[in-house]
Amino acid sequence: MPERYRPEVIEHLVHPQGVGEVNQPDGCGEAGDAACGDVARFTLRVEDSRLSEVCYKVYGCAACVAAGSALVGLVRGRHLLEAARVSRADVEEVLGGPLPEGKEHALTLVIDALHRAFEDYLDHRADVLLGGGYTDGSAGEEGTVVAAMSGGVDSAVTALLLKEAGYRVATVTFRLHDGEPGSRSCCSPDTVLFARETAHRMGLPHFTLNLKRLFERRVLSDFVGSYAAGRTPNPCVACNAHVKFHAAAFLADMLGFRHIATGHYARVAETPYGPALARPKDERKDQTYVLWPVPEKLLRRTVFPLGDYEKSEVRAIAADRELAVAHTPESQDICFIPDGDYRRFVRERVTSGPGEVVDRSGRVLGRHEGIVNFTVGQRRGLGVSTSTPLYVTEVRPECRQVVVGRKRDLLVWEILVGETNWFMDPSEADSVQVRYNGSQLPCRIKREGESWLVRLEEPTMAVAPGQSAVFYAGERVVGGGVILRRGRG
């Protein structure tokens, strides 16, 4: 037998509050799909960060109608930060207790529609964000922080640790691309929904920022363009500095919050030159290599709570506090290419004509279908058979040539690095890292015009243009840059 609705639900169905649409709203959000049987739409006006007007419309079952009405009652007149904290459980309480089995989706539907209206509201104010403006946070209230929340265990524990340390925390999830599985909230799991649920369970307000345009401009186009130019890009590096930190700072500025935080394994150290990135306690999870382009102005207001923890401790905290994310698997691949086939991803976006496979002396050994299929150090798929194994040593986009050689031809003594970002004086650099999870190579560096020539003490293998070179002084990150080309072999 289907469980019946409580009288509170019927009361909200028959006398719903806030039905309609706000005239010329500041934010408008819709969730669901009429073909799935439910659609909810929220419109709102924001004055002095308060929801001065909230209206909703619902096409759906009685639970959806009632949940929308209950939600209006919970958020109308409230501050944005309070409204963004209202959870499924809060709505359920107004409706007199749990909804009948199979009707719980109504809570998700209406909260998602409201949050999409918040997202729309923030999007209208994102001109600043896309223009590049943000502050160093010094005007923000002390003890406040915007924590980025991906839905994984690291970011969840980050928010939790901050809350337990006494911060006022607002969480934010970034909508970066359409590759996320399932954007229809009623039919499939969605990372944004999961992150919101996690935040709400901790009693924290949650916001979503639509960064698809920013991501497209600053990460995707560069990712595709780099391959076409024969480089091997690292999209996570570009995304952290130029999308995520930037967006978190935008939201913090908007809310009058001082700090921003992420779940990266890194630390911020005070140096005579100002704040600098530093390696975390858990060396195996060290993410300083992908954080080097974060501008000093942002790093100054950044908190990395996980810098002082081992990953195993983070999981233990999540389990201890009964976070649903405690046992989520580690994410590995590039997030916008779920199947991991980044070559196909690039091929679908650029035309790359066939060319020659040559050796170092220029002798033609074979043909290839396009340079996007090749990366320095690559051994497979060269289409050339020889007695000794051959490796890609160089990609020449201008003449579509792929240069191959023996393993020792990959050895590199010098690297030219550009597009640098320094936290400390470059002369402090005593070593360089040229690969994620790579080792720290002792080096000396010398300025060459706009770029820096890095001289290694020992040669290293397979340095790919487009990857990051990050300079260290002991545990501290002196600065970093993009590898332009290898120097003398």
Q: How many residues does the chain have?
A: 489
Closer residue to other proteins (CB): 38 or 222: 38
User: What is d(CA 480, CA 287) in angstroms, rounded to the nearest whole number?
Assistant: 13
Q: Residues near 300 by Cβ (< 8 Å), separated by ≥ 6?
A: 136, 137, 274, 275
Task: Single out the segment in contact with other proteins by CB under 8 A; choices: 56-64, 175-183, 192-200, 440-448.
Answer: 56-64
Task: Single out the segment in contact with other proteins by CB under 8 A; choices: 61-69, 147-155, 337-345, 450-458.
Answer: 61-69
Number of residues that bind other proteins (CB under 8 A): 26
Task: Single out the segment in contact with other proteins by CB under 8 A; choices: 46-54, 59-67, 82-90, 215-223.
Answer: 59-67
Residue 20 as a binder of other proteins (CB under 8 A): the answer is yes
Closer residue to other proteins (CB): 42 or 134: 42
**Structure tokens, 165:** 């340390």
Assign residue 48 a region (left: φ > 0; alpha: ψ between -120 and 50; beta: otherwise): left
Yes or no: say if 314 and 157 are a contact pair by the CB < 8 Å rule: yes
* Residue 186 known to be catalytic: no
Question: Residue 388: exposed, middle, or buried by beta-carbon count in 10 A (0-12, 13-18, 19+)?
Answer: exposed
Residue 389 as a binder of other proteins (CB under 8 A): the answer is no
Question: At its nearest, how many Å lie between other proteins and the CB of residue 106?
Answer: 10
CA 97 and chain centroid, separation: 36
Question: At its nearest, how many Å lie between other proteins and the CB of residue 223?
Answer: 37
User: What is d(CA 149, CA 172) in angstroms, rounded to the nearest whole number?
Assistant: 6
Among 22, 25, 26, 38, binds other proteins (CB under 8 A): 38
Question: At its nearest, how many Å lie between other proteins and the CB of residue 235?
Answer: 37
- Residue 472 has a CB neighbour count (10 Å cut-off) of 25
Closer residue to other proteins (CB): 105 or 311: 105
Q: Residues near 21 by Cβ (< 8 Å), separated by ≥ 6?
A: 41, 43, 55, 57
Strand 38-47 and strand 27-33: pairing? antiparallel
Q: Show contacts with other proteins in window 98-157 (CB under 8 A).
A: 102
Residue 40 as a binder of other proteins (CB under 8 A): the answer is yes
Yes or no: say if 289 and 439 are a contact pair by the CB < 8 Å rule: no
Among 25, 27, 60, 280, binds other proteins (CB under 8 A): 60
Closer residue to other proteins (CB): 12 or 285: 12
**Structure tokens, 338:** 């779920």
Closer residue to other proteins (CB): 13 or 461: 13
**CA torsion through residues 265, 268, 271, 275, sign:** positive
Task: Single out the segment in contact with other proteins by CB under 8 A; choices: 12-20, 301-309, 323-331, 407-415.
Answer: 12-20
Question: At its nearest, how many Å lie between other proteins and the CB of residue 275?
Answer: 48
User: What is d(CA 457, CA 486) in angstroms, rounded to the nearest whole number?
Assistant: 15
Among 44, 46, 61, 412, binds other proteins (CB under 8 A): 61
Q: For the chain, give percent helix, strand, coil, nearest 5.
A: 35, 30, 40
349: closest CA among 233, 238, 485?
233
- Residue 402 has a CB neighbour count (10 Å cut-off) of 28
Closer residue to other proteins (CB): 64 or 80: 64
Residue 67 as a binder of other proteins (CB under 8 A): the answer is no
User: What is d(CA 469, CA 471) in angstroms, rounded to the nearest whole number?
Assistant: 7
Catalytic: which of 28, 55, 186, 239? 239
**Structure tokens, 44:** 């709102």
Residue 39 as a binder of other proteins (CB under 8 A): the answer is yes
* Residue 55 known to be catalytic: no
357: closest CA among 409, 393, 387?
393
AA letter at 129: L
Residue 293 as a binder of other proteins (CB under 8 A): the answer is no
Task: Single out the segment in contact with other proteins by CB under 8 A; choices: 27-35, 215-223, 243-251, 353-361.
Answer: 27-35
**Structure tokens, 201:** 């369970």
Closer residue to other proteins (CB): 186 or 298: 186
Closer residue to other proteins (CB): 35 or 364: 35
Among 6, 19, 300, 444, binds other proteins (CB under 8 A): 19
Closer residue to other proteins (CB): 65 or 434: 65
User: What is d(CA 101, CA 93) in angstroms, rounded to the nearest whole number?
Assistant: 16
Residue 62 as a binder of other proteins (CB under 8 A): the answer is yes
Residue 274 as a binder of other proteins (CB under 8 A): the answer is no
Task: Single out the segment in contact with other proteins by CB under 8 A; choices: 33-41, 227-235, 318-326, 358-366.
Answer: 33-41
- Give the footprint of other proteins on this chain (CB under 8 A): 2, 5, 10, 13-14, 16, 19-20, 30, 34-41, 57-62, 64-65, 102
Q: So which residues are the catalytic ones?
A: 239, 335
